[in-house]
Amino acid sequence: MYKIIICDDELILRSGLKKLIEHAELPLEVSALAANGVEALELIRQLKPSIALMDINMPGLSGLDVIEAARDISPQTHFIIISGYDDFQYAKRACRLHVADYLLKPINKEEFLLLLKEVISHIQEAQLTTRLIVDAATADTTAKKILLYIQEHFTDPELTLAMVSDHFHLSQSYVTRIIKQEKGNSFSELLTMLRLDKAVSMLADPQDYKLVVIAEACGYSSQHYFCRVFKNSTGYTPMEYKKQLR
C-alpha cells in the first residue's frame, strides 16, 4: 500500500476525497488529513507519503510553498494540486515544482481516479527501475566476490563448486551462471585454468621445482592426475613443456 495524505482547508472536501479513495480499491492508504500548510508540511516530514493531494490556498503556508519546502524533506512524494484557482502563475510555478498534475475544483471523480492510477503506475515503474539497478549492482559485487574467492582458494585440493556455493549461500546453478557470464568458463574449467597457469609459472621458474611440489602447490593431491590434466590441456607432459620453455 502507498501512503497518501490530503491537504485542504475545506473539511467537506477532505472527507469527500478520503471516502472516494478508500472506496476506489486502489493500493492507497489515506494516512493523514491536514487543514493548513504548516500541518501539511509536518505530516510530510513525518510520514514521507508516496502521494500528497495539495490545495494551493491554505492558512499558514500555501500549497505551493509546502511543495517547495518538502522537496528536500520527502523527494519521493508525488504532489497533485487541487485548487479552485485557474491562475496561469500558479500553474507555471506548479510546473517548475514538477507536480504530477493540477486539478481544478469541483473535481471530476473519474478524472481524479484515473490520475491516481497513473501516478501509482509511475511510482511502481520507478521502484522497479531502482530495484533493477540495485540488483545489477548487487550481482556485480557478488560476482567479484565469488571470483576473488576462487582466485584465493584454487590451490585448495578440496575446493569444489558446492564449497563456493555454500560459502556464499547461493545455489550451484547461480554460481555457475555467474562464472559463465564473467569468464566464459564453467567452474571446473576456470579452476583448471588457474591451476595450470600457476603450474606453467612454476615450470618456468629457475628454481626447478619437482613435479610433486608443483602439483601440490597448484591444488592437485596426486602428481599423476596433475600430469594427466596438464597434458590434456597443453598437449605436453610437464617435463616436455619445461624442455620447450628452455
Among 45, 74, 107, the domain-final residue is 107
Instruction: Please give the tally of structural domains in the chain.
Output: 2
Can you tell me the distance from the alpha carbon of 124 to that of 119, in angstroms, rounded to the nearest whole number?
Answer: 9
Q: What is the CATH number of the domain that holds 42?
A: 3.40.50.2300
Task: Record the pTM.
Answer: 0.59
Of 106, 111, 108, 112, which Cα lies nearest the Cα of 12? Answer: 106
Asked if the structure places residue 202 within a domain, the reply is: yes
Burial 172-200 (b: 16+ CB within 10 A, else e): eeebbebbeeeeeeebeebbbebbbebbb
Asked if the structure places residue 15 within a domain, the reply is: yes
Can you tell me the distance from the alpha carbon of 15 to that of 133, in angstroms, rounded to the nearest whole number?
Answer: 39
Among 107, 141, 161, the domain-final residue is 107
Domain that holds residue 89: 2-107
Q: What is the CATH number of the domain that holds 227?
A: 1.10.10.60
Asked if the structure places residue 36 within a domain, the reply is: yes
Asked if the structure places residue 117 within a domain, the reply is: no
What is the pLDDT tens value at each position of the chain, 246 positions in all?
899 999 998 999 999 999 999 998 899 999 999 999 999 999 999 999 999 998 888 888 888 888 888 888 888 899 988 877 665 565 566 566 567 777 788 888 888 899 899 889 988 988 888 787 777 788 889 899 999 999 999 999 999 999 999 999 888 988 998 999 899 999 999 999 999 999 999 998 888 889 999 999 999 999 999 999 999 988 989 998 888 876
Among 75, 107, 139, the domain-final residue is 107
